[in-house]
């Protein structure tokens, strides 16, 4: 099936049903990338070595760049950066609660494992969006895929290093037990829009199919490394339905504090559009 045959057309040409489904897909991917990046920046000037500091900064900036691309696609529906991020309400966000959890200083196993679990999910999601019926999604996906592949390799190479060490393995297992139920929230549905996303060809796989593939990849990789996958379902709240943890509320408050304290009414753009 050629993507062009089923192309939904330009943002202004979508029916209400199509637009609702496209927006739902865009919001979750934009917010996931943004908040995952925001949490990565916690490690800047705090990572174990200068080299790992530089590497996690790269990841953060890649994800921020992706978030920017996705938000630009959302802005085509008339939203602004101000309304999407700075003047919004923390409950407007639809990222999975997995990406909003705070890091403990020094818990590098959490950083490595979180990156790995996220990058596997992102790899699967991007593959499912590559032939999207909505052109702005197809276009962005192909630009982003190369970088995400590198992230995955990097995360796996860190996992291999950590499991070589007794302490490292224990810390990874503890992080896995804590994070796994939250990671599952990445695949949680939010009502009838889910069926539309797939029926309209915006994404070519269901959340359940994606979760099954993710579980199988993650189980194979982590079991091979000697870690035990916890037997558990998704955590609550999931984030996808706009319900979040207290940690997100605190992060949002801090993130938007300068904008509010300065009494800003616009978010500065310093790069030219479409790079």
Partner 1 sequence: MNVDEVKQNAGPREFNPRDDLPEEYRKAATRMLEFHANSEIMGAYLERPFIRKAPSLERKMAFSAKVQDEIGHGQMLYRAAEALGVKTRDEMLDDLANGDGKFLNCFHYPMDSYVETPMIAFFVDGAAMRRQATLKKSSWEPYAHAMDKICFEEGMHVKHGESILRELMNGSRREQEMVQDAFETWWPRILQFFGPTDDDSTHHDFMSEVGLKTCSNDQLRNSFLNGYMQKAEEYGLEIPEYPRIREQGDGQYEVVEDDLDWEEFVTVSQNEYEGSIEQIGGRKQAREAASWVRDMFDEQTAAGAAPSPTAAD
Cα–Cα dist 153/173, whole Å = 20
Q: How far is the CB of 99 from partner 1 (least distance, A)?
A: 15
Helix (H, G, I), strand (E, B) or coil at 192: coil
Percent helix / strand / coil, the chain, rounded to 5: 70, 0, 30
Q: How far is the CB of 251 from partner 1 (least distance, A)?
A: 8
Two tokens at 218? 């993650």
Residue 64 or 130: the one with the smaller Cβ distance to partner 1 is 64
Work out the number of other CB atoms within 10 angstroms of the CB of residue 173: 18
Q: How far is the CB of 50 from partner 1 (least distance, A)?
A: 5
Cα–Cα dist 125/30, whole Å = 12
CA 112 to chain centre: 15
Residue 52 or 236: the one with the smaller Cβ distance to partner 1 is 52
Cα–Cα dist 18/163, whole Å = 46
Q: How far is the CB of 52 from partner 1 (least distance, A)?
A: 7
Residues 6+ away with beta carbon under 8 Å from 234: 181, 182, 184, 185, 187, 188
Query: In the complex, which residues of this chain contact partner 1 (CB under 8 A)?
Result: 34, 38, 41, 44-55, 57-58, 60-61, 64-65, 67-68, 71, 81, 85-86, 104-108, 154, 157-158, 160-162, 164-165, 167-168, 171, 254-259, 261-264, 267-271
Residue 115 or 186: the one with the smaller Cβ distance to partner 1 is 115
Q: How far is the CB of 205 from partner 1 (least distance, A)?
A: 29
Please, how many CA atoms are within 13 Å of residue 39, restricted to the half-sphere of its CB? 25
Residue 10 or 54: the one with the smaller Cβ distance to partner 1 is 54
Residue 47 or 73: the one with the smaller Cβ distance to partner 1 is 47
Cα–Cα dist 48/184, whole Å = 28
Q: How far is the CB of 116 from partner 1 (least distance, A)?
A: 12
Residue 212 or 256: the one with the smaller Cβ distance to partner 1 is 256
Residue 8 or 47: the one with the smaller Cβ distance to partner 1 is 47
Q: In 82-134, which residue ranges form alpha helices assigned H by DSSP? A: 97-100, 108-129
What Å distances lie between residue 8 and 2, 23, 69, CA to CA?
13, 13, 19
Cα dihedral across residues 137, 31, 78, 92: positive or negative:
positive
Residue 170 or 220: the one with the smaller Cβ distance to partner 1 is 170
Q: How far is the CB of 165 from partner 1 (least distance, A)?
A: 4
Nearest to 156 by CA among 97, 108, 113: 113
Q: How far is the CB of 73 from partner 1 (least distance, A)?
A: 14
């Amino acid at each position: 099936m050629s993507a062009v045959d089923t192309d939904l057309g330009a943002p202004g040409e979508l029916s209400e049903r199509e637009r609702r489904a496209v927006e739902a897909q865009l919001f979750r991917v934009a917010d996931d990338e943004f908040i995952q990046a925001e949490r990565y920046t916690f490690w800047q000037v705090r990572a174990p070595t200068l080299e790992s500091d530089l590497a996690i900064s790269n990841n953060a900036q890649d994800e921020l760049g992706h978030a920017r691309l996705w938000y630009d696609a959302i802005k085509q529906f008339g939203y602004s950066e101000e309304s999407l991020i700075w003047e919004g309400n923390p409950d407007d966000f639809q990222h999975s609660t997995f990406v909003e959890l705070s890091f403990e200083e020094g818990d590098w196993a959490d950083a490595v494992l979180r990156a790995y679990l996220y990058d596997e999910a992102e790899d699967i999601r991007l593959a499912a969006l590559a032939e999207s019926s909505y052109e702005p999604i197809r276009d962005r996906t192909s630009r982003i895929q190369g970088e995400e592949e590198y992230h995955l390799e990097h995360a796996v190479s860190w996992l291999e290093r950590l499991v070589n060490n007794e302490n490292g393995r224990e810390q990874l297992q503890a992080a896995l037990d804590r994070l796994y139920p939250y990671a599952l929230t990445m695949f949680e549905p939010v009502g009838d829009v889910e069926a539309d996303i797939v029926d309209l060809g915006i994404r070519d796989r269901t959340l359940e199919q994606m979760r099954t593939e993710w579980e199988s990849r993650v189980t194979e990789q982590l079991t091979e490394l000697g870690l035990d996958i916890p037997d558990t379902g998704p955590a609550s709240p999931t984030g996808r339905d706009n319900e979040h943890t207290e940690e997100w509320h605190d992060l949002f408050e801090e993130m938007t504090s300068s904008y509010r304290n300065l009494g800003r009414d616009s978010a500065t753009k310093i790069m030219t559009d479409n790079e």
